[in-house]
A and B are shown apart, each in its own frame.
Chain A
């Protein structure tokens, strides 16, 4: 172990190239992971924030708020379900918002929600004509007390505060009263207009299993999910997650092969030296532990450089361009996966280390 660390310290150049490759692979892993997290976060925040045990859509909506329609009679049926304590209407309309001080063609994409039960982190329903804005909209120049003009009808919405992590479909959200939402929807989207007391979905508070009881109780006229289920049911979320995880898996496999290749070559190079070490009483276990230590140290150095690089990348990428979300959790997961790949990759050299014959040291050059 000591020899391994000493070699790393005295001859770092020998490990430089492997460290460079591992750094590139670590950046790839963290960047891809950050991209996945950013995509998911920006499209699901508003649903994740819902404060309830179930989200109820109409039967044929395919978990799409825009296509769902809950009429008062259906709402009453949901409210009567055993275990339901409270149900609140929810609706959304996606529009372009004119931000004061911006050019006439420079609009911010917003998703205006009307809600009855405040989502987590959102204060009580604001007065008519006002809304809380997701803080991502600050990058579009949105400020407190500013009045945005929404859609072709230029519906005015005054911003009375900011909330966080409530984006929807990649757009910053606005949280308003049901009346405000309904008025803006009707004025700007005649084809999506909804009558008084009709909502797109219901947020249901009740016991933990309430989501599973609603659809049977409404004779299948509803399509109910737990909040986590509703997040996963958003079109594209599952396929995005699966595709990215497959790419991340293959990238880990590449890291494993690179480590295996590098340390197999190093082992071949040192076969004679290992023979001498064994002849002097060194155990195969000690020699292999030295290899693993070197692989772990190289990987940790690479991961540290990569982690810093992606944090810098995250800081310099302009808000609203690439949906990158670099978190310490994602960096930690990437480091753990890389370390596992490094240890497994070293395993390929184990057989070669075990095969080294101490007798081969006799007669070899110094």
Chain B
């Protein structure tokens, strides 16, 4: 063991390069994990973190809030479906938002819902981290990720053209849509915004319906009942609606391939390194075996080195990742993913150790007798 540590100390450049390679790989994997999760949360957070347990789209909408249109006929069918409790209209559009405290304009998703007197209607943000729900016209709850861009409580966002102004009265965590600022307002406010921006516009029907099942009925049962009503209705539970939003599966598939490739590179690099190092010091290892060192102690030394190097690479990679995970990337808020850090650390450590077993096998093959001929395992 002592020799293993001394060897690392004496060949700093060699082991340092390996640590750097592992650290860069760990950093990239964790950064991309944050990127993937941040992208999905910013893309569909407002769908996942709203209060309606079931969302009903029109099939034409292809599971995109803004693209779906619920005609009066379809709405009536949903309302008359057995097992349906409460129903609320939800509308969504993208507007140009100009926070009064900022000089910059932002693409702003506005979600209108039947807020009611207390603001708690179906489609409201599921939970607030600050402030309250909208209870009056031209009040809104904004996504927390955009509070620093003039979408904080007390801020006013002007929607242009038309110059309608929304006062932000609450903040909701992970409630962005389409990777941009998102504001939840009452349907009355939403319709005023549409009319102000486009004088030619008619009264838009709801984009989707938020549904709460009747007492004793599960979300899955009400989804099945609604979809049975018409081939033009597409009911989904809240989590399914977020997961099946177009683009989500593509993002997950793309990242899965990328993660797989990076995860393969780490054990390959580690395995290659220790295999070469074992070949290089074959003579010394043979001599050690000849003077009484057991094969087991040599293998343990090798594995100890592998654990130290992998541990150092992981630690350095996580240290690099830490400041980057606190930043914003365009409209995307990254987060430090503890689960990913733990999961990847265990996986990469295990894979790295497994790959160094090839070198261990070489060590076990050493014949102490070869010390008398000057040949080592690598020759």
Checking B194, B200, B204, B275 against A195 with a beta-carbon cut-off of 8 angstroms, the contacting residue is: B200
B153 contacts the other chain (CB 8 A)? no
Q: Which residue on chain A has the smallest CB distance to residue B329? A: A243
Q: Which residue on chain B has the smallest CB distance to residue A195? A: B200
B105 contacts the other chain (CB 8 A)? yes
Question: Inside 8 A of A107's CB, which chain B residues have their CB?
Answer: 59-60, 62
B347 contacts the other chain (CB 8 A)? no
Q: Which residue on chain A has the smallest CB distance to residue B330? A: A239
Question: Inside 8 A of B24's CB, which chain A residues have their CB?
Answer: 250, 253-254, 257
Question: Inside 8 A of B264's CB, which chain A residues have their CB?
Answer: 24
From A28-36, A116-124, A130-138, give the one contacting chain B: A28-36
When chains A and B are docked, how far (Å) is the Cα of A20 from the Cα of B253? 23
Checking B35, B105, B279 against A62 with a beta-carbon cut-off of 8 angstroms, the contacting residue is: B105
- How near does chain A come to B276, taking the closest CB pair, in angstroms? 5
| A239, B94: Cβ atoms closer than 8 Å | no
Most A CB atoms within 10 A — which of B179, B249, B254? B254
From A160-168, A173-181, A264-272, give the one contacting chain B: A264-272
Can you list, as one digit per residue, whether each of B258-294 has a CB less than 8 Å from chain A (1) or not (0)?
A: 1001101100110111011101100000000000000
| B107, A64: Cβ atoms closer than 8 Å | yes
B85 contacts the other chain (CB 8 A)? no
Residues A365 and B59 in contact in the complex (CB < 8 Å), given A247-B32, A268-B280? no
| A264, B17: Cβ atoms closer than 8 Å | yes
Question: Inside 8 A of A20's CB, which chain B residues have their CB?
Answer: 268
Q: Which residue on chain B has the smallest CB distance to residue A271? A: B280
Q: Which residue on chain B has the smallest CB distance to residue A257? A: B21
Q: What is the size, in residues, of chain A's interface with B at 8 Å between Cβ atoms?
A: 65
Checking A32, A59, A190, A194 against B203 with a beta-carbon cut-off of 8 angstroms, the contacting residue is: A190
Checking B96, B201, B265 against A192 with a beta-carbon cut-off of 8 angstroms, the contacting residue is: B201
Can you list, as one digit per residue, whether each of A236-257 has a CB less than 8 Å from chain B (1) or not (0)?
A: 1011001100010011011001
Question: Inside 8 A of B253's CB, which chain A residues have their CB?
Answer: 321-322
Can you list, as one digit per residue, whether each of B15-34 has a CB less than 8 Å from chain A (1) or not (0)?
A: 00110110011011001100
When chains A and B are docked, how far (Å) is the Cα of A238 from the Cα of B329? 11
| B246, A109: Cβ atoms closer than 8 Å | yes
Question: Inside 8 A of B197's CB, which chain A residues have their CB?
Answer: 67
Checking B35, B60, B180, B261 against A28 with a beta-carbon cut-off of 8 angstroms, the contacting residue is: B261
- How near does chain A come to B183, taking the closest CB pair, in angstroms? 15
| B69, A188: Cβ atoms closer than 8 Å | yes
| A96, B59: Cβ atoms closer than 8 Å | yes
Q: Which residue on chain A has the smallest CB distance to residue B108? A: A62
Within 8 A of B (CB), among A84-107: 94-96, 104-105, 107
Residues A21 and B265 in contact in the complex (CB < 8 Å), given A236-B179, A268-B280? yes
Checking B59, B194, B246 against A105 with a beta-carbon cut-off of 8 angstroms, the contacting residue is: B59
| B331, A239: Cβ atoms closer than 8 Å | yes
A69 contacts the other chain (CB 8 A)? yes
B311 contacts the other chain (CB 8 A)? no
| B272, A64: Cβ atoms closer than 8 Å | no
| A191, B268: Cβ atoms closer than 8 Å | no
A151 contacts the other chain (CB 8 A)? yes
A27 contacts the other chain (CB 8 A)? yes
Residues A21 and B67 in contact in the complex (CB < 8 Å), given A104-B59, A239-B330, A261-B17? no
Q: What is the size, in residues, of chain B's interface with A at 8 Å between Cβ atoms?
A: 72
Question: Inside 8 A of A322's CB, which chain B residues have their CB?
Answer: 250, 253-254, 257
| B62, A265: Cβ atoms closer than 8 Å | no
Question: Inside 8 A of B21's CB, which chain A residues have their CB?
Answer: 254, 257-258, 261
Residues A28 and B96 in contact in the complex (CB < 8 Å), given A60-B105, A152-B60, A269-B279? no
| A24, B331: Cβ atoms closer than 8 Å | no
Question: Inside 8 A of B95's CB, which chain A residues have their CB?
Answer: 67
Checking B14, B67, B202, B204 against A265 with a beta-carbon cut-off of 8 angstroms, the contacting residue is: B14
A198 contacts the other chain (CB 8 A)? yes
Can you list, as one digit per residue, whether each of B188-226 has a CB less than 8 Å from chain A (1) or not (0)?
A: 000000100110111111000000000000000000000
B161 contacts the other chain (CB 8 A)? yes
B176 contacts the other chain (CB 8 A)? no
Q: Which residue on chain B has the smallest CB distance to residue A154? A: B60
- How near does chain B come to A18, taking the closest CB pair, in angstroms? 7
Q: Which residue on chain A has the smallest CB distance to residue B60? A: A96
B160 contacts the other chain (CB 8 A)? yes
When chains A and B are docked, how far (Å) is the Cα of A365 from the Cα of B376? 13
Residues A21 and B272 in contact in the complex (CB < 8 Å), given A61-B96, A192-B198? yes
Most B CB atoms within 10 A — which of A190, A238, A239? A190
| A254, B28: Cβ atoms closer than 8 Å | yes
Question: Inside 8 A of A193's CB, which chain B residues have their CB?
Answer: 198, 200-202
A335 contacts the other chain (CB 8 A)? no
Question: Inside 8 A of A253's CB, which chain B residues have their CB?
Answer: 24
Question: Inside 8 A of B58's CB, which chain A residues have their CB?
Answer: 152
B154 contacts the other chain (CB 8 A)? no
| B277, A265: Cβ atoms closer than 8 Å | yes
Within 8 A of A (CB), among B274-327: 275-277, 279-280
A315 contacts the other chain (CB 8 A)? no
Q: Which residue on chain A has the smallest CB distance to residue B267? A: A21
A204 contacts the other chain (CB 8 A)? no
Give chain B's interface residues, CB within 8 Å of chain A: 13-14, 17-18, 20-21, 24-25, 27-28, 31-32, 35, 58-62, 67, 69, 71, 93-96, 98, 105-107, 160-161, 179-180, 194, 197-198, 200-205, 231-232, 234, 246-247, 249-250, 253-254, 257-258, 261-262, 264-265, 268-269, 271-273, 275-277, 279-280, 329-332, 374
Task: List 22 contacting pairs A-B, 8 Å CB cutoff, sorted by A.
Answer: A17-B271, A17-B275, A24-B264, A25-B265, A28-B258, A67-B95, A104-B59, A104-B231, A105-B231, A109-B246, A189-B69, A192-B198, A193-B202, A198-B200, A247-B32, A254-B24, A257-B17, A258-B21, A261-B21, A265-B276, A321-B249, A322-B250
Give chain A's interface residues, CB within 8 Å of chain B: 17-18, 20-21, 24-25, 27-28, 31-32, 35, 58-62, 64, 66-67, 69, 94-96, 104-105, 107, 109, 151-152, 170, 188-195, 198, 235-236, 238-239, 242-243, 247, 250-251, 253-254, 257-258, 260-262, 264-266, 268-269, 321-323, 348, 365
Q: What 9 additional pairs, Cβ within 8 angstroms, besides A67-B96, A264-B17? A: A21-B265, A24-B261, A32-B258, A60-B161, A105-B231, A189-B204, A191-B194, A235-B107, A322-B250
What are the 10 closest A-B residue pairs judged by CB atoms, nearest first?
A239-B330, A191-B204, A190-B202, A60-B160, A17-B272, A96-B60, A104-B231, A257-B21, A261-B17, A265-B276
